[in-house]
Amino acid sequence: MTNRIDDHVPAAPPALTNRAPPRKPLTEAERAEREKQRTAAEARWLEIESKGGVDGWVRAKLIEAGHTPDAAAPANEDEKKTFKEKKGAERAERKKLKALANEARRFGTIGYLGNTVHWDELKDADDFDLKDRAQRAEQNGLPPWETANELAAAMELSLSELRWLTFHREVDTGSHYHSWKVPKRTGGERTITAPMPKLKALQRWALEQYFEKLPVHAAAHGFLPARSVLTNALAHVGADVVVKLDVKDFFPTVTWQRVKGLLRKAGVTEPVATLLALLCTEAPRQLVEFREQTLHVATGPRCLPQGAPTSPAITNALCLRMDRRLSALARALGCTYTRYADDLTFSFKKTPERKRLALGILVEKTKDVLKSEGFTLHAKKTQVLRRGAAQRVTGLTINPAGPQVASARVSRDVLRRLRAAIHNRQKGKPYREGESHAHLQGLAAWVYMSDPKKGSKLLEQVAALPRA
């Protein structure tokens, strides 16, 4: 929904209400010439970097042209006139080279990506660089790219394209994301912010090259190879008491600065860490209509989008220390800890002797750990599940299915609804509200994950249903 703010903005003076005439579109020849200039400027900047900066490049070019920038003035009066003429020509040439260097800097560097987002392209290191930065990056298996130019080349992008994808504006006329809302299981709505195809492809590239290589704790089960909601639930099968906690605003809490810090600690340089952090974050935005133009206005800091492919891996790596601390807390209290995204689960195989005290310590200590790690406990979502009641962890029931049968499985209610929906379709009845062939297929696959024998039969039944 868009808001109109025209009524709150004073009218412009009459002399300012006339809009400038629209720019004339570039011809193909003009566009080609501009692209040629940009490419030449970017290549020139790479040459400048190889000479150690603008001054070194200018000096090298002057010597190459036959000038003598280091020559001292002659003592002979007859030679001074010639020397001054040469120095005058040298100053003119230096001025031209400086102009070319400035043009190259504009096209060949990024350096500034919006308010408070900048760094020094020519500085080898900064105060936040690790002493063994390169070794740390190598230990983590990260690429050796150190500059914006190297990162852009690895991504097969021009520097201007990389700048366009990462530049931050508080108010923008467009967006690299599209958003929609989905209902939460517990009520309310969740906003999904997904990147456009080009940005999504680059985020997947960053995921493979960087974020999937960062260390993750064994207690994390979300969005990792060979781990799933099933492995997360199986860790708590047979528990007397299960405690479920939730992190409030998990993704929105992780700002681009935190992502950058994660990469810097892993051994990534300032420019590359900044660009990757901006590439994988976005500010929550509201559409505003202002003077016949739709604007995307930031309503908060850049953070992890709910629909970006990089967000889960970033949080898993960022929570490494938090998972270590909570695992240590669980061992001290005699229980098991796992985390699936923002869902924290603790389970006691035996009910603690002083149950109320132990559970109180667990919740309060977890709250303190989360706070010190930059997160907040969602107190209203805390659940304590005892063996006598239904115990569900990440959607799977973990109560014993029989006297000696311990498993994690889909609840009877879900199975009952799925079988009823399949039966109705077999009888030729239409889908009910919220049902579809894809929905039933997903539920059958959900059953198959925890019970392949039962799930394969349901998948066959769904596949045989009429689609229309």
pLDDT in tens, 214-235: 999 999 999 999 999 999 999 9
The pLDDT value recorded for residue 166 is 95
- Residue 64: Cβ-neighbour burial (10 angstroms; 0-12, 13-18, 19+): exposed
Token output for 19 = 């809009």
In the predicted structure, residue 276 carries a pLDDT above the cut 70: yes
The pLDDT value recorded for residue 17 is 40
* 126: confidence class by pLDDT, cuts 50, 70, 90: low
Task: Tell which wins on pLDDT, 309 or 120.
Answer: 309
Q: What value does the mean pLDDT take over residues 36-63?
A: 89
Q: What value does the mean pLDDT take over residues 296-310?
A: 95
Token output for 45 = 């900047």
* 299: confidence class by pLDDT, cuts 50, 70, 90: very high
Question: By the 8 A CB rule, do 448 and 405 touch?
Answer: no
The C-alpha atoms of residue 249 and residue 161 are separated, in whole angstroms, by 31
What is the β-pairing status of strands 392-393 and 3-4?
unpaired
The pLDDT value recorded for residue 406 is 62
Task: Tell which wins on pLDDT, 104 or 371.
Answer: 371
* 8: confidence class by pLDDT, cuts 50, 70, 90: very low
In the predicted structure, residue 6 carries a pLDDT above the cut 50: no
What is the pTM assigned to this prediction? 0.81
The pLDDT value recorded for residue 118 is 72
74-83 burial string, b = 16+ CB within 10 Å, else e?
Answer: eeeeeeeeee
The C-alpha atoms of residue 389 and residue 234 are separated, in whole angstroms, by 18
Q: What value does the mean pLDDT take over residues 99-128?
A: 76
Question: By the 8 A CB rule, do 270 and 126 touch?
Answer: yes
User: Per residue in 401-438, pLDDT tens?
Assistant: 655 456 899 999 999 999 999 999 999 999 988 889 99
Q: What value does the mean pLDDT take over residues 452-463?
A: 95
Task: Tell which wins on pLDDT, 26 or 444.
Answer: 444
User: Per residue in 374-407, pLDDT tens?
Assistant: 999 999 999 999 988 899 999 999 987 655 456 8
